[in-house]
Each structure stands twice: as structure tokens, then as C-alpha cells.
Structure 1
């Protein structure tokens, strides 16, 4: 069954399931745009709703729901994965939505999932199953979430370029699935409660430009940070506030590195001179480690923000 939907461009139809879901959504989510309640405005013309079009069948389908930063509250109806089967883009970020996050499993066309800065309280275990075209997953600053672990069912999503789970109450260790993310560029798990040694496959993230695993006090990630040397595209690295140990690897391959924070760990050994020779390096934080040897030399014009305090350097100035 389909519902007739008149628009400026097409006289076409969306499925009954899609129309029914939008009506549920309208009941469950508050502060929606006013034209959602105008009986003369068809669904495909509601603010924040974008419809695609199948020319062969003259049917339309819900392609995007984009309602970022609209002071929305309420809950998302649970059967989205059974109703909006052609959804490509779902953005409800920067609102005050709450309740349980619905499952998006098997929405195989979904590419962008923005849910950041809300008040969701839980995530179903199958939330991200079968999202083979997902490129961006942004859930950051959902601080009321129950404790959860990094979703292993993301490993089928080889198109992912951005994963941002900052401050979402992630706990435990990371699974050994990172060889399944060949194009991942931005990976932010900061301000969580992660523990353990990073898995071997972490070094396969060779396209990363941003890596953030920092926390002021609670992250207890451990092991070495040698994996950084296999990430030549890095621009920003923040591993502050963990229990990483061993030496800082040779980062001379990281030509684009601008921000490096390794403060408050257990790093030892000599800081290689090549770090201070990076052309783009601007900010370096190595304080509160157990680094030794000569004080590293940085160009104060090119790298004006350097913090090396509370280490074990043999002199308080660069040189032999």
C-alpha cells in the first residue's frame, strides 16, 4: 500500500510504512517545525524531510531526516529499521532527545548517522548490524548512556571514515577488528573508560588523520604506542591520561602532524630529534612521563606550544 504525496516536482507516492512511521515520529518527538502540523503540507515537503524518487515506479521514498539543533525532545520510535528502509541520512544531533536508541540494523543504504549531543540512555546490541554503506557514525556527548562496549558489529562497515564516540560511557577493551576499517580518518573515543592494550589490528588504521583516546583521569589504556609510526597521515593525536609505556616511536613519516599530546602516561626513553624537525608540528605536550636523555629541541617559531615538564631529562636545556 502507498500514500499519495503531492509535491512541487512530482505527483508520486511513498509507502504506507514510511508515512505511518513519520506520523509516529511526529507524536513521539516534540518541538518539530510548524509545517509538520499543517494539513496542507505533504510529508515530503515537511521541514527536515527529503524524499528521493524512483522514476521507474513513480514512487518516492524518505531519503533524509535532517533536524539538527532544533531543541527537539522526546524519543525516537523504535521501528525505524523496518519502516524507512531506503534512508540514507539521519541527523538529529544537538537536541535533547532521550530514551532508548532504536536499532538501525539492516538499513543497508544508510550513510550518515548523526546523534551527537542528546540524552539517550541505552543502545541495543544490534544497533549497527548490516550497515554496509555507513560512512559516518557520530554519537558523541550522550553522557547518560548506560555503560557499553565498542560495537563489534561495526566491522562490516568498510566505508566508515568518521567514528566519534567521545564521552559516551564506553568501557572495557577495544576488539581486534580494526583491519576492517581501511579508510577510517577520524577516530575519537576520548573521555570514556577504556582499558587494556590496543589490539594488533590498530596499526592497520593507516589513513587516520585524527586519533583521540584521551581522558583526564579514567582511561587506562596500556601497552606501547609504536602503532603511531604506521599512520603517516596523522594531523592530531591525543593519548593523554592513559598508562601507555615504552618509547615514543619515530614519527618522521608523519609529515602533516600538527598537534601531539602524550601527557600523563608512563613513556620512557629518549625523544628522537626528528620530532622537533617536523615541518608542521605546532603543539607538543609530553609532560608527566618518565622520558630521559637530552631535552628535545623544538623551533620556537614553528612550535610555540611545547610542554616537557615533569620528566627525567638529564638537563634543563637542549644539548649533549
Structure 2
């Protein structure tokens, strides 16, 4: 048996209890799954590359959490229930010292969300991870990007900006002495996919997206698909006290909140008639939500603080810049 198959058998096979809808998992040319009647499969694929999404010497347990959590977040943005994941791993050489903590973290998070590894691949090359997650959702209720309408309120979950500050710490040793540097670095890696929030929003939210490239960039995807504009009050942006202390000013924290990528919080819009139902629907989720603005007519996009216009020039993350 080759080293590749030894690694697969040791670290990836038989690590989880099999879901009832998995007819055949790893060990054959394809996995076989069964989709419950009335539901559709939501599918998302993402790649993380060493040197681009994480440093090569990063803690493999943190890398595993980030890789899987970021993909589950895509399912959350559609209101889908996580079900299955396929995983392709490319690494320069078999490295069990790296794989052991990686797999421990990966399967711990997978089990928490009830998502089963059903297949994948391993190959030799520069370190990279490609995951394809699949979830189940009623196609008539699935959250999309094209449903926002003028007058809808714009909400976000959690706090924003911490991930960008954490990345600052990772990339520059000079940042390590700032207040809360260690906590913010951890938050960069350890996001919490808002699966319960996404499910609670079904039938209430008019559109949704997860914040992976920065609020200001991801919100514009909703605006483009829905043919609308937006007005954002930056004074309402949820920023942590740790972020303000780290940066030294509330204004810079607000700018981080608008531009920070890899947050994996949700941005969603809610029609006025559903505003009263939102807080009660999300009460069991234990997740903070904040209204940060309102949908406006197409072509309008303004950032202001309590009505005072701001001329900030900000952009989110671009994989090719």
C-alpha cells in the first residue's frame, strides 16, 4: 500500500459516524448520497493556498478550522443545512506531524455541524486545500442575492473588522505588542459559521450573503443582483472594543468593519413587514444582529455617519490584487 493510501486510511477514513443519507462514502470511485424529497442540494467549492490564505508555518489546527468554517459559511448564507463535504489535499510531502492536528480540528468542527466527509483526493505539490461542501435546503425558500427591494433594512451578524486586524498581526511582528493582538489573531482563524441564523432567516430575509471579501464588496453583490442601491450608517457598524483598542480609534475600526475580508458573518436584508419577526426568529441562535442601513434605489450608494456623508475610499479583498 502506497504512502498516499496509508495517509488516507489513517487520517480520513472511519473518523465519523455515517449519516443516514450517505449510502456510500470514501473507498469507491464516487460517493453515493440520497437527497430527501422536496429538498435541493446547495453546493459550494473553495480553495485555500499556503502563502495566500494562510502562512505555511501556521498552526494546522487553525488552518483546518478556517478552511471548513469558511465553506460552511457559504451554506449558512443560503439557509442550507450542512450535509456532506469532499476534500482535496495537496502537500509537498506526507507530513503526519502536520496532518494529525489538522484532522483532529477538521473532524471536530465537521461533527459539530453534522457534516460528513464523503470523499476527496490527495496529491503532491504546493500546500493547498480544496473543499466542496453540500447542504440541503428547500429550493423555494433558499436565501439568494437577488431578492433585496427598496426600503428593506440591511443587517449583519456579529462584529466586523476583527479578522482584518488579526491578519495584520499574522503578517507583521510589529503588531504583536498592540492591545488584544493575540485575541484578534485567534478570531481571524476561528470564525463561527452562522448556520442557525441562515436557517432562521428562511421566509423572512429577502437576500443574504456571507462576508468573505469585505462588507463593502459583498453587499455590492446583493445590490448588483437585486438592481438596487444602499445607504450605510457607519456609526451603527458593530465593532468590538478589542478592535477599537487595537487600532486606537473608532473611525479606523469602522473602516476595518467595511473592508475586512474573511469575517464569515452574514449580511442580509429584511422587508419592513418582517422586521417585527426577526428578533424573535433569531432569539434561539445566540447571535448578535445589527441593522446598519437600508436598501435604496438603483445607482445610489452612500456611506454616512448619522446623516453626515463620508468620502471614504474603501474596497474589500481581491484575490488577484
Q: TM-score range by the shorter chain?
A: under 0.3
- The structure in which a higher percent of residues are helix is 2
Q: TM-score, normalised by structure 2?
A: 0.27
TM-score w.r.t. length of structure 1: 0.27
Larger radius of gyration between Structure 1 and Structure 2? 1
